[in-house]
């Protein structure tokens, strides 16, 4: 009876094979970007048992949420390999913001695979140069520039 239990467990296990696999790689391996920067991304999708039917690309950030950038029917092929050029939006108003690009491949049987690339957008607000500003210290008797 004790030998039957491991045999039952081994025969009931099934390998979970994905129908399609998607991979996206930033050509320049960038992690920190600025508004207006262009990102060149290589996108690959492969399916062994089925065909790749569709590729979807989304951008996700705190300003606009999830925005669909591309939804392309690829004609039922086994493998897709292309480059995608993305321009970082200029609407980021904070000093730093998180930006995620999501990639999804859909197989002919309806199965799908997803992958995401994460970026940090820096320098949303720029410094402004002023001339002729005078700051006084606490002992001067005038308005203290360090504690107004």
pLDDT of residue 1 exceeding 50, the answer is: no
Q: How confident is the model at residue 36 (pLDDT cuts 50, 70, 90)?
A: confident
User: For residue 139, what pLDDT is reported?
Assistant: 75
Residue range 51-64: average pLDDT? 92
DSSP string across 15-41? ----S-EEEEEETT---EE-TT-EEEE
Report the C-alpha gap between 24 and 118 in whole angstroms.
11
pLDDT of residue 27 exceeding 60, the answer is: yes
pLDDT of residue 144 exceeding 60, the answer is: yes
pLDDT of residue 136 exceeding 80, the answer is: no
User: For residue 8, what pLDDT is reported?
Assistant: 42
Tokens encoding 77: 């092929």
User: For residue 124, what pLDDT is reported?
Assistant: 52
Residue range 113-141: average pLDDT? 76
Alpha helices in the chain (DSSP H): 4-12
- The CA distances from residue 122 to 41, 95, 109, 146, in Å, are 20, 6, 41, 27
Q: Give backbone dihedrals phi and psi of 84, rounded to 5 degrees, phi first.
A: -120, 125
The predicted-structure confidence for 71-95, as pLDDT tens digits, reads as follows 999 988 999 999 999 999 887 766 7
31 contacts 25 by C-beta, under 8 angstroms: no
Report the C-alpha gap between 49 and 19 in whole angstroms.
7
pLDDT of residue 10 exceeding 80, the answer is: no
Q: How confident is the model at residue 127 (pLDDT cuts 50, 70, 90)?
A: low
**Nearest in space to 57 (alpha carbons), one of 83, 32, 95:** 83
DSSP element (H, E) containing 92 = none
Instruction: Give this prediction's pTM.
Output: 0.71
pLDDT of residue 21 exceeding 90, the answer is: yes
């Amino acid at each position: 009876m004790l030998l039957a239990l491991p045999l039952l467990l081994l025969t009931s296990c099934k390998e979970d094979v994905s129908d399609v696999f998607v991979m996206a790689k930033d050509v320049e391996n960038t992690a920190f970007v600025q508004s207006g920067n262009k990102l060149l991304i290589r996108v690959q999708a492969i399916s062994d048992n089925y065909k790749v039917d569709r590729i979807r690309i989304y951008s996700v950030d705190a300003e606009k949420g999830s925005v669909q950038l591309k939804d392309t029917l690829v004609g039922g092929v086994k493998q897709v390999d292309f480059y995608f050029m993305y321009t970082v939006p200029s609407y980021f108003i904070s000093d730093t913001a998180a930006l995620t690009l999501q990639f999804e491949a859909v197989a002919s049987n309806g199965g799908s695979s997803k992958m995401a690339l994460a970026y940090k957008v820096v320098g949303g607000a720029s410094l402004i140069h002023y001339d002729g500003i005078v700051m006084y210290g606490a002992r001067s008797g005038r308005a203290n520039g360090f504690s107004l």
